[in-house]
Amino acid sequence: MKVNYEYLKQLLEAFEKVEKPYPLISEIAKLSSEVDNRFVFHMGILHDQGFLQYLTRHGQSPFEPDLDEIDDFSWADFNVRLTAQGYDFLSALHQKNIWNAIKGDLKENSIETVWKVAQGVATKIASTQLQKYFDESVLK
Per-residue pLDDT of the chain (140 residues; tens, 9 = 90+): 899 999 999 999 999 999 999 999 999 999 988 888 899 999 999 999 999 999 987 777 888 877 666 667 888 899 999 999 999 999 999 988 888 888 888 888 888 988 998 888 888 888 888 887 776 655 55
Do 135 and 109 contact (CB within 8 A), yes or no?
no
Domain boundaries, the chain: 5-139
- What pTM did the predictor assign? 0.82
The DSSP secondary-structure symbol of 52 reads E
Would you identify the CATH topology of the domain 5-139?
Arc Repressor Mutant, subunit A (1.10.10)
Cβ neighbour number for residue 32 with a 10 Å cutoff: 21
The whole-angstrom separation of Cα 18 and Cα 5 is 20
